[in-house]
Amino acid sequence: MNDVVPTDSARLVGDIAALLQRAVADHVFPGAVAAVAMDRDSVVIAAGHETYDHAAPATKAEALFDVASLTKVVATTTAITQLIESNALSLDDCAARFLPRLDQPGKNEITIRQLMTHTAGFPGPYEFYRFCHAREQLIEAIYAVDLIDRPGSRRLYDDISFMLLAFIVEKLTDTSFDRYCSQNIFTPLQMNDTCFRPQAGASQIIPTEVDPDRGGLLRGVVHDENAYVLGGVAGHAGLFSRASDLLRFACVMAGTTEAHAEILSDASIRRVRQREWRDHEGEYGLGWDRTRPHYMDAIDDDDAIGHTGFTGTSMVVSPHRQLAIILLSNRVHPKRSDPGAINAVRRELVQIVLRYWR
């Protein structure tokens, strides 16, 4: 490992705060929280307000955000990896072994590995919520959807695969997905505010989109419409968390804390970071992205991993640099915006952090 030096925390905080404040002024998002861990030092910076209303409360460092697809790596990938560790399943098991409703031509070939790498052959974003209005109805639709590729032939980022992975967790553990994650991931890591379906008043909950179809401003209600129909608990979205909680988790993945032993072995952490797929867009591990310059910028270490969330969130982890970077925002308020703007902020955040290392 290259030598690293402690950062000047005051200057780092100042540079990140300036970035977030510019983004607020440019209406990339009304508010955000960034968190950075370098080796065993960490900082958390908040900026902006809950909404663009001048009277809105300021965003606090401990604010709770809808983290959207960070659910896929923090909750679902971790849960499945734990079940692999316990020999309840393996990467090359067919998913139909655990979900008999997948025992259909083509779908019966889909493996756990393919679900975790988005290579199962399912279509990308699929608006089940437009014709499904109850959990069981949406579940029926998931099993009925046609594959668009032969399993293992192409990677297409999708949500269906991670919905199915959560169903597998529930089937193997005989408990709800949210309860399993709370007992086996969040509680052991003392991620005390991380949960599905947060209780009103438990903490500052940052609102997302104004959705007339769901009563207006969404606060503490999952932004993702499919997850909403599923009751707010799903394998692809639904998790709410704060920056300091996610930093605890990211430090586990970076190997800078002994807390990893509470949830995953060293071998399992290394395994999810290994390259499973490469294409013209980047490299991918199990659930995690590896090389994705559009939000990870210059971090291209062999063991670097990351993921983003549609609501304006991201996590970048570099074990080689003993570094973790979290960004939480509500860039979908009051309505979803061009993702190019939030990606530019994500990249610049990484650039700022890297300037404090040599």
The contacts of residue 201 (CB under 8 Å, 6+ apart) are none
> Within a domain: residue 72?
yes
> Prior bond to 334 cis, omega within 30?
yes
What are the C-alpha distances in Å from 221 to residues 202, 206, 225, 253? 14, 10, 10, 28
Give the Å distances, CA to CA, from 158 to 122, 154, 172, 263: 7, 12, 23, 26
Give a three-class secondary structure readout of 70-127.
Answer: HHHHHHHHHHHHHHHHCCCCCCCCEHHHCCHHHCCCCHHHCEHHHHHCCCCCCCCCCC
Indicate the number of domains in the chain: 1
Q: Classify burial at 52, counting beta carbons within 10 Å of its beta carbon; exposed 0-12, middle 13-18, buried 19 or more.
A: middle
Calpha distance 311→323 (Å, rounded): 23
Neighbours of 108 (CB within 10 A): 14
Q: What pLDDT tens digit does each residue of the chain (358 aa) get?
A: 333 444 588 999 999 999 999 999 999 999 999 999 998 899 999 999 999 998 999 999 999 999 999 999 999 999 999 999 999 999 999 999 999 999 999 999 999 999 999 999 999 999 999 999 999 999 999 999 999 999 999 999 999 999 999 999 999 999 999 999 999 999 999 999 999 999 987 789 999 999 999 999 999 999 999 999 999 999 999 999 999 999 999 999 998 877 667 899 999 999 999 999 999 989 999 999 998 999 999 887 889 999 999 999 999 999 999 999 999 999 999 999 889 999 999 999 999 999 987 5
End-to-end CA distance of the chain: 12
Question: What is the β-pairing status of strands 216-217 and 41-48?
Answer: unpaired
In whole angstroms, give the CA distance from residue 146 to residue 269: 33
Radius of gyration of the chain (CA): 19
Location of structure tokens 């009103």: 200
Q: What's the confidence (pLDDT) of residue 337?
A: 83
Per-residue pLDDT at 1:
31
* Phi, psi angles (nearest 5°) of residue 144: -90, -15
- Extract the tokens encoding 242: 């704060």
**Residue range(s) defining the domain that contains residue 150:** 65-241
Instruction: Show the beta-strand stretches assigned E in the chain.
Output: 31-38, 41-48, 65-66, 195-196, 210-211, 216-217, 239-241, 277-279, 282-284, 305-309, 313-318, 323-329
In a domain, 119, yes or no: yes
Q: Evaluate whether 81 touches 264 at the Cβ level (below 8 Å).
A: yes
Extended beta strands in 192-274, E state: 195-196, 210-211, 216-217, 239-241
Pairing of strands 65-66, 313-318: unpaired
Strand-pair partners of 329: 32
In three-state secondary structure terms, 30 is: coil
Domain assignment present for 201 = yes
* 10 is a domain residue: no
- Whether residue 14 is contained in a domain is answered as no
Question: Is 96 part of any domain?
Answer: yes
Separation CA 207–CA 249 (nearest Å): 23
The confidence score (pLDDT) of residue 3 equals: 38
What is the pLDDT at residue 275?
Answer: 97
Q: Is 350 left (phi over 0), alpha (psi -120 to 50) or beta?
A: alpha
**Distance of alpha carbon 146 from alpha carbon 46, whole angstroms:** 44
CATH of the domain at 132: 3.40.710.10
